[in-house]
Amino acid sequence: MKTRQDNPFKFGTVVEDEYFTDRTEELKIVKSILHSENHLVLISPRRYGKTSLVLKSAKETSRPLLFLNLESVTDKKDFAVTLLKKLLALYPFEKLKFLLKNFRFVPTLSMSALGDSFDISFITKTDDNVILEDVFALMSKISDKENKLIVVFDEFQQVDEIDKNLSKLLRSIMQLQQNINFVMLGSQESMMRTIFEKKKSPFYHFAELLTLKKIPREDFYLYLQNRLSLFEDKYNIADITEKILDFTDCHPYYTQKLAFNIWELLKDEMASDDIVQTAIDYSNEIHDMDYERLWSSFKNTDKKVLKYLSVSRNTQHDYSNIGIPISTVFSSLKRMAQSGILIKENRYEIDDPFFAVWIKKILV
Ligand SMILES: Nc1ncnc2c1ncn2[C@@H]1O[C@H](COP(=O)(O)OP(=O)(O)O)[C@@H](O)[C@H]1O
Ligand SMILES: [Mg+2]
């Protein structure tokens, strides 16, 4: 049970209910797609709130939801097995058993000792494509027109890592699916755009594309202020709130994380001229080893680019100042954006503002 003294900020996992803020427009768009015959692509860097947004939208439709992260899928057969397991958890076994008769191969199902999950294997030498086609067909058949299944594939840009022919196969299967809304989430924007916007790609124009931005400042401001107001007798909450957002630039995850730490300091009646700075320093002390390890994993050119970005205050970066050829800078930026170290909104930024401060510190 929650008490008044529970920390009201949450980071790292999916947020819902009172932890979820704003995204009203986005919720409307996602739900309108779920209430149509269309599919959705949702793109943003990691930890912007894709999963939270989609789960909230799906929950509000009260329809069955199958969520699968493609990063955890190893090959086509594994993909089929995982889907089948998830369907077994979603629908009554009797209903599935009946439909399994339509399969062109015989899966072996065995109940776990506790009786709460199934193990599935395919003993026949059936072609993986056939297995996947049949599982998707089952998914479409079991989905009820009145209560359509929502299928979410997270980290969808991994599709070609699983198997180089998978996207072509998937597209041909998925376009035949009735009764299902597919939602494809992705954290690597350029790869996602290649999949869904290149004319030659099998998924060209398959779905509506939406990109998720950071949370608007006014909204995040109210969210923070509201939750910190418990301490307004002793602290200047307006000032603290502004400083939090200046530091995190409204990044959903880092804002919640910093606010969480600050809430703890305020609760302990910590006295400090600059409580926000204290919280940042404190967090960086804890993560010093992780950042050191991360830092030592970069090439020298990446380090130079990161150093520049950590101190650059310009609205437009001037890459000619870094001291390495511009083309090298750009391949470094691209590489680090792909691995999630950098994000690009109007310009490239270091994703983690705590890490940016850590880098600045090693410069002095
Ligand atoms: N609408 C929101 N309101 C408040 N915080 C949010 C919201 N969406 C995301 N966050 C913060 O970001 C974190 C990551 O959210 P998540 O949905 O897992 O992002 P993603 O799926 O894009 O990686 C959450 O744990 C939470 O701290
Ligand atoms: Mg996610």
What does the pLDDT look like over 296-354, one tens digit per residue? 999 999 999 999 999 987 778 889 989 999 999 999 999 999 999 999 988 999 999 99
Alpha carbon distance 289, 95 (integer Å): 53
Number of other CB atoms surrounding residue 302 within 10 Å: 21
Residue 127 included in any domain? yes
| 98 Cα to the center of ligand 2, angstroms | 34
Q: For position 96, what pLDDT does the model report? A: 86
In a domain, 169, yes or no: yes
Please report whether residue 304 resides in a domain.
Answer: no
The pTM (predicted TM-score) of the whole model is 0.92
Residue 356 lies in a domain: no
- Per residue in 236-270, is it b (16+ CB within 10 Å) or e — as a string? ebeebbbbbbebbebbbbbbbbbbbbbbebbeeee
* Domain enclosing residue 180, as ranges: 23-211
45 CB under 6 A from ligand 1?
no
Q: Is 35 inside a domain boundary? A: yes
Which of 7, 14, 15, 69 for mutating ligand 1's site (highest number of atoms within 8 Å of CB)?
15
> Does residue 51 line the site of ligand 1, with CB under 6 A?
yes
Instruction: Answer whether residue 312 is part of any domain.
Output: no
Question: What 3-state DSSP class applies to 210?
Answer: strand
Does residue 234 sit within a domain?
A: no
Our answer on whether the CB atom of 20 is closer than 6 Å to any ligand 1 atom is yes
Residue 6 forms part of a structural domain: no
CATH of the domain at 47: 3.40.50.300
Ligand closest to Cα of 44 equals: 1
Structural domain count of the chain: 1
Over residues 155-170, the pLDDT tens digits come to 999 999 999 999 999 9
